[in-house]
């Protein structure tokens, strides 16, 4: 019993802090309550022992889509995923180091607009009105984001 109380005492400040920034569902997905640039999103997930979401398969994406619907997440804004681009032009998941193999790019994406679009946004809404398709975007733009238990 003492062990359980000790664990709760250790976890409760973390849980309270998490609640300031993130909302959780029962499947281990966390959606941000505010916006961060890509590095900020990556860091905030990591701070809470979570990972910015990566999508390896259509099944991963379907699971995320389900979670976003559960959160009533807006389809009119973008969300950072953990994808980033190498100088070679290849994309990889910065959290795992694995190459991005499965993709779900929106029409005309990735377009590296302006030459600075090196991070992966879920939600290509503004230009093509394709919610929950992928878009490459400037990493310094502030977006909502999704973390997941690794
Ligand atoms: Ca783009």
Residue 80 structural domain? 2-148
Per-residue pLDDT at 29:
92
Per-residue pLDDT at 107:
87
Q: How far is the CA of 20 from the centre of ligand 1 (A)?
A: 30
Biggest CA-to-CA distance, the chain: 58
Q: What is the CATH number of the domain that holds 25?
A: 3.10.100.10
Q: How far is the CA of 3 from the centre of ligand 1 (A)?
A: 50
- The pTM for the full model equals 0.85
Q: How far is the CA of 82 from the centre of ligand 1 (A)?
A: 15
Q: For the chain, list residues with pLDDT below 70.
A: 1, 5, 7-17, 124-129
Q: Identify the residue whose tokens are 């910015």.
A: 52
Per-residue pLDDT at 124:
63
Q: How far is the CA of 41 from the centre of ligand 1 (A)?
A: 19
Task: Give DSSP secondary structure letters for 2-62.
Answer: HHHHHHHHHHHHHHHHHHHHEEE-TTSEEEESS-B-HHHHHHHHHHTT-EE----SHHHHH
Count of structural domains, the chain: 1
Q: Using CA atoms, how far apart are residues 32 and 44, in angstroms rounded to an integer?
A: 9
Per-residue pLDDT at 104:
94
């Amino acid at each position: 019993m003492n062990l359980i109380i000790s664990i709760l005492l250790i976890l409760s400040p973390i849980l309270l802090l998490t609640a300031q920034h993130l909302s959780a569902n029962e499947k281990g997905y966390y959606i941000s309550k505010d916006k961060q640039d890509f590095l900020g999103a990556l860091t905030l997930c990591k701070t809470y022992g979570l990972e910015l979401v990566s999508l390896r398969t259509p099944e991963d994406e379907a699971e995320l889509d389900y979670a976003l619907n559960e959160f009533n997440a807006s389809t009119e804004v973008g969300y950072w995923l953990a994808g980033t681009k190498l100088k070679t032009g290849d994309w990889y998941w910065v959290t795992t180091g694995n190459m991005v193999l499965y993709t779900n790019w929106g029409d005309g994406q990735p377009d590296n607009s302006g030459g600075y679009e090196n991070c992966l946004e879920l939600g290509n809404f503004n230009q093509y009105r394709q919610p929950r398709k992928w878009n490459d975007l400037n990493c310094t733009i502030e977006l909502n984001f999704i973390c997941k238990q690794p």
